[in-house]
Amino acid sequence: MAASLVVLISGSGSNLQSIIDATQNGILKGEAIVTHVLSNRKNAYGLERASKAGIPTSVHPLLPYKKEYGNEVGRKKYDTDLSEKIIALKPSLVVCAGWMHILSPEVLAPLENRNIGIINLHPALPGAFNGIHAIERAFEAAQQGKITKTGAMVHWVITEVDGGKPILVQEVSIEPQDTVETLENKIHNIEHKILVEAIHNIVSATTDA
């Protein structure tokens, strides 16, 4: 039986598209299926990608919660409801593919209690440039002569941002002629590949267990 994937997105959904393609014609065919795509932004183009593929979607925006409950209480309520939405979808695995919200204990603890794993794609090597603007920060460090390589990883999600155990890591060299744009392109091309491979490794291990 194919593993059910719930994919969380915030933007264009290019990483989502790589997953969809792999379930239709690639290494995930017969192994996994995207059963739902959830976005925190109603205008995320990834929702259109999902709809074109016949995948159900939903939107879970933060702003209404902040307006009704205030910032702190609203965020906790938002996260609690997010975990309930995900659990109700009964996923085998949750995939953060460009999800732009930090996942708090209010989200992670209920998933862990139900043995629902959640993974994230991050454009940096383990322990380097955790958090936002990772590519730009790596490029700046290279310009200062501090590093000659960066990379991308897929890791398990824990409360520490980008601090979970890596599943797949791919290095990317930073060449003297690189610009931020060319470095972004190199990393994004690798991200699509390792995200699919990581999902494949996880669902294959689960099937074989």
Full residue range of the structural domain in which residue 82 is found: 3-125+152-171+191-208
Number of C-beta neighbours around residue 128 at 10 A: 17
Q: Is 186 contained in some domain?
A: no
What pLDDT, on the 0 to 100 scale, is given for residue 207?
58
Q: Is 90 contained in some domain?
A: yes
Q: Partners of 169 in the beta sheet? A: 153
CA angle 208, 117, 30 (to 5 degrees): 45
**pTM of the entire predicted model:** 0.93
CATH number at residue 166: 3.40.50.170
Q: Give the active site residues.
A: 122
Q: Is 109 contained in some domain?
A: yes
What pLDDT, on the 0 to 100 scale, is given for residue 69?
93
pLDDT tens-digit readout, 108-120: 999 999 999 999 9
